[in-house]
Structure 1
Amino acid sequence: MESTRYRLIELLETSNHQYVSGQFLSEKLNISRSAIWKHMKELEKDGYLIEGVRRKGYRIAGSPDKVSENTLHWGLQTKWLGKNIIHKTTTNSTQQVAHQAARDNAEHGTVIIADEQTRGKGRMARQWHSTRNKGIWMSMILRPSIPPAAAPQLTLLAATVLADVITKYTSAEPKIKWPNDLLVNDKKTAGILTEMQAEQDRIQYIAAGIGINVNHSNNDFPEDISNKATSLKLETGEDQQIVQIIQKILMSFEKAYDSFIQDGFSDVKNKWESYGYKIGEAIRIRTNSELLDATFTGIAEDGALIVQSETDGPRRIYSGEIEWFRK
């Protein structure tokens, strides 16, 4: 159920910055005018600029670039994604929170977001450094009616959404490194971690984690990754508005997800390949059993990497360590 404060924000937003009377808000929300005043004070604590004028009412004159449930709802034009937001100032990992929330029956489209992660994780249990208030550390709970075997396609879909948003709203030029990283100028700026709880033929839920380095400076990165990581600020020379980027991601993801559920993976595949890092170039793949030199040609419908080997012809790769930066 939508919170009273979210519905209050929605009413103020649709007023186009005109004053809305306390009596009107009281009747719409079925709460007292003193309760309306208390909600306004809570919005002010979040950094909203509230103007209250006698006999006119209230209006929001300005909103902060501070991540909170309220600021994310303000201006978020989605039908189901992010209607329920769990915001944490600090947490071990938004993925851990998402798993627990999903087990507690959190609804499809619930978003978990944190200012800071102390034990953020990436693929293959690698640590993700999540500097406080400098990036986007977020997980989405999804309950898709698709076979469990199709779940990896959602990782690829999420990557195309991030690439589209970064391309459209910043001057950075991202590439997607299979299967789950976004690079700018050959350095990692974002990653995706998709984890699933499923039965044999049915997905119970998916926790789709997204981490983006947004306003990091060079000294925000640990020394061991400083030559491999970057941020949108470092690449564009400009501070980015984190709340707006989150909203753009949620709105774009909802639209892309709905299209994927209705129309399948084909459009996602084509878009992914348009951003694909080193498509058409030689890469080296290390698996448990072999070392393979091949040309990266695209991705398969099931999300596998497709390579062309001189000796074996086209092959699908599902796992392995890939040397992307061969000289």
Structure 2
Amino acid sequence: MKCKVLELLRSHREPVSGEEISAQLGVSRTAVWKHIKTLREEGYEIVSQPGKGYLLKGIPDLLLRGELAHFLAGSMFARSIQCHLTVGSTNDLAKAAADQGAPEGALVVAECQEQGKGRLGRQWFSPQGGGIYASVVLRPPLKPEQAPGFTLLAAVALAEAVQKVAGLTPGIKWPNDVLLAGKKFCGILTEMKAEMDRIYYLVIGTGINVNTDPQSFPESLRDTATSIKTEGGKAVSRIELLAVYLKNMETLYKVYLEQGLPPVIEKWKTWNVTLGQAVSLTSGGEVFQGRAVDIAGNGGLVVVGNDGEERIFQSGEVTLRTK
């Protein structure tokens, strides 16, 4: 009911009386007042004008369920939304929800992560207030060997969203880093539960430095990390960016299911900063140096070694070399 009150206020540019809200929603005026009070406590600026009613004047910069439900209306990602202030890891919560039968599209977001997860067991720096930390559940009717393509898919969706919302042009470094001005502002972690021939579910976790102050980064990250606000010079609506990102992901997901990964790979190539570059790739304790030349049909990176040997890597840590 709180969300219905919010949507009613959002749909009016003029004040709406408590009596009118009560009549339209079929609740008492006391209930309306309680919902208004709760919305104000969440940070919504709702003014009371004597003799006229309530007017929504401002929306908080918080990842709130009501805002996400509004911006994601009609999307599969609006089916189940969990919003938290502080969590250990959104990926862990999304996996737990998936194990308990959460529908495809289930979304978990948080303002802060205390144990944000990156690839290779690393931790993703997740301070409160400036970033987006979100995980979604997908249940694709695919085989486990097709899962790596989802990291590419998510990276393309995010790059397109940043260009649309912030007017910036990111670059994608295989397999999961999204960069601005050569520095990382987004990481994507895809985790899976599967059998030999079927995927039960995928969880795609995304950490985005949106309005994060560069001075808040740990000393060890300041030379390699950045934020959208830092590179664009102005704050960006986190709600809008997350909604556009997820809608892009849903569109590309349908493309993947209907046409396979090749159309996604072609889009990925337009944003990539890896192909054609000299790279050092660490995988399974081995370091392989050469030139990244292509993306394989399943999303693997094709590298031609310095000795002419061509290899395809399904995972690994890529460093772009200057020579």
Do these two structures clear the TM 0.5 threshold for a shared fold by scoring above it? yes
Mapped contact 1:78–1:254 kept (Cα < 8 A): no
Q: Are 2:167 and 1:198 aligned?
A: no
Of stretches 68-77 and 156-165 in structure 1, the one that deviates more from structure 2 is: 68-77
1:125 CA displacement? 0.4
After the TM superposition, which residues 62-77 of structure 1 pair with which residues of structure 2 at under 5 Å, given as runs?
62-77=58-73
Q: Are 2:115 and 1:119 aligned?
A: yes
| Partner of residue 98 from structure 1, selected from 72, 77, 94 | 94
1:39 CA displacement? 1.8
1:5 CA displacement? 2.9
Which runs of no fewer than 5 residues in structure 2 stay unpaired? Answer: none
Q: Which amino acid aligns with 2:111?
A: D
| Partner of residue 174 from structure 1, selected from 162, 170, 177 | 170
Q: Are 2:300 and 1:304 aligned?
A: yes
- Cα distance in 1 for residues equivalent to 2:52 and 2:258: 46
Of stretches 137-146 and 16-25 in structure 1, the one that deviates more from structure 2 is: 16-25
After the TM superposition, which residues 95-244 of structure 1 pair with which residues of structure 2 at under 5 Å, given as runs?
95-244=91-240
Q: Give the structure 2 partner of residue 60 of structure 1.
A: 56
> SS at 1:322's partner residue?
strand
- Cα distance in 1 for residues equivalent to 2:33 and 2:22: 10
Mapped contact 2:5–2:21 kept (Cα < 8 A): yes
Of stretches 273-282 and 51-60 in structure 1, the one that deviates more from structure 2 is: 51-60
- Cα distance in 2 for residues equivalent to 1:228 and 1:194: 22
Q: Give the structure 2 partner of residue 6 of structure 1.
A: 3
> SS at 1:176's partner residue?
strand
Mapped contact 2:304–2:310 kept (Cα < 8 A): yes
- Cα distance in 2 for residues equivalent to 1:289 and 1:123: 15
> SS at 1:323's partner residue?
strand
- Cα distance in 1 for residues equivalent to 2:5 and 2:254: 28
Q: Which amino acid aligns with 1:49?
A: E
* Deviation by residue 1:114-158 (Cα, 9 ceiling, x = unmatched): 111111110010111111111111111122222222121111100
1:255 CA displacement? 2.3
Q: Which amino acid aligns with 2:3?
A: Y
1:18 CA displacement? 5.2
1:34 CA displacement? 2.9
Q: Which amino acid aligns with 2:2?
A: R
Aligned length: 323
- Cα distance in 1 for residues equivalent to 2:273 and 2:108: 29
1:164 CA displacement? 0.6
Alignment RMSD, CA only?
2.5
Of stretches 141-150 and 272-281 in structure 1, the one that deviates more from structure 2 is: 141-150
- Cα distance in 1 for residues equivalent to 2:71 and 2:316: 42
- Cα distance in 1 for residues equivalent to 2:258 and 2:4: 30
1:53 CA displacement? 6.3
Q: 1:288 to 1:141 in 2, by over 3 A?
A: closer
| Partner of residue 263 from structure 1, selected from 240, 259, 265 | 259
Mapped contact 1:306–1:316 kept (Cα < 8 A): yes
> SS at 1:81's partner residue?
helix
- Cα distance in 1 for residues equivalent to 2:297 and 2:269: 12
* Deviation by residue 1:261-310 (Cα, 9 ceiling, x = unmatched): 22322221101111111311222334458543322122122110012346
Mapped contact 2:175–2:315 kept (Cα < 8 A): no
Mapped contact 1:158–1:192 kept (Cα < 8 A): yes
Q: 1:43 to 1:83 in 2, by over 3 A?
A: farther
* Deviation by residue 1:24-82 (Cα, 9 ceiling, x = unmatched): 65566554443233222212222223356688765534322222212322333442213
Mapped contact 1:43–1:70 kept (Cα < 8 A): no
Q: Are 2:319 and 1:323 aligned?
A: yes
After the TM superposition, which residues 14-33 of structure 1 pair with which residues of structure 2 at under 5 Å, given as runs?
15=11, 17=13, 26=22, 29-33=25-29
- Cα distance in 2 for residues equivalent to 1:54 and 1:262: 56
| Partner of residue 30 from structure 2, selected from 29, 34, 38 | 34
Percentage of matched positions with identical amino acids: 37
Mapped contact 1:285–1:322 kept (Cα < 8 A): yes
Mapped contact 1:82–1:250 kept (Cα < 8 A): no
Mapped contact 1:69–1:86 kept (Cα < 8 A): yes
> SS at 2:63's partner residue?
coil
Which runs of no fewer than 5 residues in structure 1 stay unpaired? Answer: none
Mapped contact 1:107–1:141 kept (Cα < 8 A): yes
